[in-house]
Amino acid sequence: MARRAKGKVSGQVSGQQSAEDRLIARHFKPIARHPGALGLTDDAALLTPPAGHALVITADAVVGGVHFFPDDPADAIAKKALRVNLSDLAAKGAQPAGFVLTLALPKGVGDNWLKSFARGLGADAKKYGCPLLGGDTVLTPGPVTISITAFGTVPDGTMLRRSGARVGDHVVVTGTIGDAALGLKLRKERGARRRWNLNAVLQRHLLGRYLVPEPRCALAEAFRQLASAGIDVSDGLAGDLGKLCRVSGVGAEIDAAKVPLSKAARAALAAEPGLLKTILTSGDDFEVVATVPPASLDVFLTAARVVGVSVTAIGRVTAAKEVQFIGPGGRPLSFARASFSHF
Amino acid sequence: MARRAKGKVSGQVSGQQSAEDRLIARHFKPIARHPGALGLTDDAALLTPPAGHALVITADAVVGGVHFFPDDPADAIAKKALRVNLSDLAAKGAQPAGFVLTLALPKGVGDNWLKSFARGLGADAKKYGCPLLGGDTVLTPGPVTISITAFGTVPDGTMLRRSGARVGDHVVVTGTIGDAALGLKLRKERGARRRWNLNAVLQRHLLGRYLVPEPRCALAEAFRQLASAGIDVSDGLAGDLGKLCRVSGVGAEIDAAKVPLSKAARAALAAEPGLLKTILTSGDDFEVVATVPPASLDVFLTAARVVGVSVTAIGRVTAAKEVQFIGPGGRPLSFARASFSHF
C-alpha cells in the first residue's frame, strides 16, 4: 500500500501544504474559477441549476493503454477525457455547467506532464463553458486513469432521451463517421499506412480525430428542441443506433452509402472496401446520432447550418425492431459485432 | 489498445446487448432505482435539488494496492469507495442525494466479484439514502480503480465550509482516531501483532476500521446548523485540522490526551507509545473534525447523543496560525509529517 508522503513537514502543521495540495494549487486552481469550486480549498463543490432546470449528469473514464496511448500529449489526453463527457451532454441536449475530475497518476508523472494536462483541460473548460469544480488526485500502480463527471442543464423535463424515436422519423448523424477508428488502425497497424496510400494531410486528419474528438455542443439546443431521441456515437454507429432503437422499441433502415465519411475515410475505403464494417461498428466517433420527426427535419438542418455543424440524414426509423444497414446493390449488411464493448 | 469485444453479435444489431450492457443490466440496474437514473438505459442521469437547495458535489477515487488490498472482499471495497465520499458530504452538512460511479476493471474480474461488489454498493446506497444514478465501466491494464462522484443537498448558502472557524471555538471530533492506520499497520507489519499483544477482538476492530469506514451522515444536520467549520479526516487528524485552520486563518491547540481512542488503539499505544504520531497523522479515519462556537457546544453534544454518534471536544481554536498538539507533560508534539499525501 503506497500510503507514504514524500514531503517532510516539521514542527507545527498549520500553514504547511502537502505536496498533493501544492499540485492542486499549482495546476488546477487556476482553471477552477467557477464560484462553486470554492477555489478548490474545500472538500466539495456547489452547483445549483437555474430555476426550472434539471441537472444532467454523465460520467466517463479514460484509461492509458485503453482509450489513449500512454505517450499521447498530456493536453490531448485531458481534452479527450473532458470531450467524451461533453459529447454525452450534447446528445442529451444539455448546456455544459461544469465538471469534477478524479486523476489517478503513476509515480514519476512529472510537473511538465501535469502542466500540459492542466493547460489542455483549462482551454477546453473555457471553450465549452464547462468549468472545473473539484476532484481528487491519487496515486496508482497502473496507468494514468482519468474519470470525469460532467454536468449540464436542461429546462425541466426536456432532456433528449434514447427512448423517443417514432416510426417514420429521420435518422441524422453529425460530422463524419469512422475517422477515429481508422486513425487508431493507422497507429496500431504499420501495414495500414501503405495499404490505404494516404497523403500526409489525410493521415493527420484520421490520427487527429482519434486523438481529440469534437463534441457537438453547438447543436445541443437544436437536438433538445427538435429531435425525438439521441445518443452519442462512442461505441460505433451501428451499435449505438441499435441501443437507441432498442430503448425506443423501434428499428431503423440506414442507407450505408449516405453515412457521412471524410475525404480520408473515403480514400481508405476505396483502397480497402472491407473497412466499411470498421467504419460503421467501431468506437470513438463521438458524433451524435439522433432521430428527427419529418415535420422538423428542415428546421433542424437549417439550425445545424447556422451553428456550422454538418448533419446528414442517413435513413428512417422503422417498426422492424432491428437496425438494417443497406449496402451496395440494396443488400443488407451484417456485422460480426455491432459495437465496441469492453467486456 | 484493448479495444476488442468478446461477445459476438451476428446479423442485425438491434435487440442485441453487448457484454458491457449485460454486465450493467445484471449487476447495477437493480441498485439504480432512483427515477433520475432512468434505469441505466440512457447516457446521462437527471437530478434536481429541491427548491431553495444547492447541490453539494464531492469526488473521490480508490485504487487497488493504494486504498485497499486487491484481495479485500469486493463488497467491502464497494462500501469503502462510497463511504469515503459520504464522509465528505457529512462534513459539509449535506444530506446524500445520489452518486455516479466509474469502474475500471482488469481482465478476468469474474461475475462473483461483480456480484459481491454490487451487493455491497447496493446495501450502502440503501442504508445511506444515496442511490446509484449512473456511471461507466471500462477495462484497465492496471488495478481495480473506482471513482465515485457523490451528491448531497443543503439549503442554499448553508454548506459547512472549512473556512468558518473562529478563535475560541471548540474543536470536536467524531468517533475514534487512528484505528484505520493501526489496522493498516497490522496488515502490513507482521511484527505489529506481536508487539501490541492484542486479543482477537481488538485486532478485528482495527482491521475492520481500515476495511470499511463509518461515515458520520447522521450528524450532518447538526454540523450544518451548529458548527462553524468542518472537514472529514481522511489524511490524518493533524493535517486535516491544519487545512481547516489554514483556510479559516486561525490555529488550534489540541490536548493530545483528549483525542478519542478505541480500546484497541489504547492497548496498542500502551504497548508502543511511539504510535501516538501514527494515530494523529495517518489517513483513513473518515471521521469529522469540526469547530463549534462555545454557545452551541452543549446543543451540539446533545444532538450527537440523540443520533448515537460519539463526539469529543479535544481543544480550542486559537489566533496562533498553527495547530499545536499538547502531549504528556504539557510539551507540544512535533511531527515529521502532518498528514498523508499521495505525492
B232 vs A43: CA distance, rounded Å: 8
Q: Residue A264 corresponds to which cell in the numbers above?
A: 480520408
A297 vs A312: CA distance, rounded Å: 11
Please tell me if residue A50 touches chain B, with a CB cutoff of 8 Å. no
Could you tell me how many residues make up chain B? 343
pLDDT at residue B15, rounded to an integer: 42
CB A213 within 8 A of CB A87: yes
| Tens-place pLDDT, residues A105-151 | 999 998 999 999 999 999 999 999 999 999 999 999 999 999 999 99
Residues in chain B with CB shorter than 8 Å from the CB of A90 are: none
The bridge status of strand A53-63 relative to strand B132-139 is unpaired
Please tell me if residue A26 touches chain B, with a CB cutoff of 8 Å. no
Please tell me if residue A113 touches chain B, with a CB cutoff of 8 Å. no
Residue A12 has pLDDT above 70, yes or no: no
| Tens-place pLDDT, residues A269-284 | 999 999 999 999 998 9
Q: Residue A123 corresponds to which cell in the numbers above?
A: 482551454
| Tens-place pLDDT, residues B190-202 | 899 999 999 999 9
User: If contacts are CB pairs under 8 Å, which of residues 137-176 in chain B contact chain A?
Assistant: 137-143, 145, 147, 149, 152, 156, 159, 161-163
pLDDT at residue B12, rounded to an integer: 37
pLDDT at residue B20, rounded to an integer: 79
| Tens-place pLDDT, residues B129-158 | 999 999 999 999 999 999 999 999 999 999
Residue A241 has pLDDT above 60, yes or no: yes
Which letter does DSSP use for residue B215 in this model? -
pLDDT class of B343 with cuts at 50, 70, 90: low
Mean pLDDT, residues B246-267 taken together:
97
pLDDT at residue B25, rounded to an integer: 86
| Tens-place pLDDT, residues B204-255 | 999 999 999 999 999 999 999 999 999 999 999 999 999 999 999 999 999 9
pLDDT at residue B338, rounded to an integer: 65
- What dotted CATH number matches B19-43+50-155? 3.30.1330.10
pLDDT at residue A339, rounded to an integer: 64
Which letter does DSSP use for residue B71 in this model? T
| Tens-place pLDDT, residues A198-233 | 999 999 999 999 999 999 999 999 999 999 999 999
| CB count in 10 Å sphere of residue A117 | 25
Q: What distance in Å separates residue B106's CA from the closest CA in chain A? A: 10
Which letter does DSSP use for residue B25 in this model? I
CB B89 within 8 A of CB B96: yes
Give Cα separations from B104 to B30, B90, B101, B145, B220 (angstroms). 20, 27, 10, 5, 31
B53 vs B95: CA distance, rounded Å: 11
Q: Considering chain A, what percentage of its residues have pLDDT values greater than 90? A: 85
Residue B342 has pLDDT above 80, yes or no: no
CB A286 within 8 A of CB A340: no
User: If contacts are CB pairs under 8 Å, which of residues 82-101 in chain A contact chain B?
Assistant: 88-89, 91-92, 94, 100-101
Residue A4 has pLDDT above 50, yes or no: no
Look up the CATH architecture of domain A170-330.
Answer: Alpha-Beta Complex (3.90)
Residue A24 has pLDDT above 90, yes or no: no
Mean pLDDT, residues A91-104 taken together:
98
Q: Residue A278 corresponds to which cell in the numbers above?
A: 470498421
The bridge status of strand A132-139 relative to strand A95-105 is parallel
B170 vs B249: CA distance, rounded Å: 16
Mean pLDDT, residues A251-277 taken together:
97
Tracing cell 501503405 back to the chain, one arrives at A194
pLDDT class of B339 with cuts at 50, 70, 90: low
pLDDT at residue A271, rounded to an integer: 97
pLDDT class of A16 with cuts at 50, 70, 90: low
Residues in chain B with CB shorter than 8 Å from the CB of A65 are: 1-2, 140-141
A146 vs A180: CA distance, rounded Å: 20
- Could you tell me which chain B residue has the CA closest to the CA of A239? B13
The ipTM is: 0.92
So what CATH class is A19-39+48-155?
alpha beta
Question: Which residues 6+ apart lie within 8 Å of B82 measured at CB?
Answer: B99, B121, B124, B125, B128, B130, B148, B150
Secondary structure of chain A as H, E, C letters:
CCCCCCCCCCCCCCCCCCHHHHHHHHHHHHHCCCHHHHHHCCCCEEECCCCCEEEEEEEEEEEECCCECCCCCHHHHHHHHHHHHHHHHHHCCCEEEEEEEEEEECCCCCHHHHHHHHHHHHHHHHHCCCCEEEEEEEECCCCCEEEEEEEEEEECCCCCCCCCCCCCCEEEEECCCCHHHHHHHHHHCHHHHHHHCCCHHHHHHHHHHHHCCCCCHHHHHHHHHHCCEEEEECCCHHHHHHHHHHHHCCEEEEEHHHCCCCHHHHHHHHHCCCHHHHHHHCCCCCEEEEEECHHHHHHHHHHHHHHCCCEEEEEEEECCCCEEEECHHHCECCCCCCCCCCC
Q: Which of A171, A153, A176 is nearest to A300 (CA)?
A: A171
- Output the CA angle B167-B168-B170, nearest 5 degrees: 115
pLDDT class of A328 with cuts at 50, 70, 90: confident
Q: Residue B289 corresponds to which cell in the numbers above?
A: 473534525
Q: Which of A255, A258, A245, A230 is nearest to A323 (CA)?
A: A245
Contact A232 B43 (CB under 8 A): yes
User: If contacts are CB pairs under 8 Å, which of residues 286-315 in chain A contact chain B?
Assistant: none
| SS3 call for B342 | coil
Please tell me if residue A19 touches chain B, with a CB cutoff of 8 Å. yes
Question: Which residues 6+ apart lie within 8 Å of B81 measured at CB?
Answer: B60, B62, B101, B121, B146, B148
pLDDT at residue A208, rounded to an integer: 98
Question: How many Cβ contacts (< 8 angstroms) between chains A and B?
Answer: 361
| Tens-place pLDDT, residues A166-206 | 999 999 999 999 999 999 999 999 899 999 999 999 999 99
List chain B domain ranges. 19-43+50-155, 170-330
- Could you tell me which chain A residue has the CA closest to the CA of B64? A140
Residue A6 has pLDDT above 80, yes or no: no
Q: Which of A225, A222, A251, A227 is nearest to A325 (CA)?
A: A251
Q: Which of A342, A183, A308, A325 is nearest to B23 (CA)?
A: A342
pLDDT class of B337 with cuts at 50, 70, 90: low
Q: Which of A40, A6, A258 is nearest to A132 (CA)?
A: A40
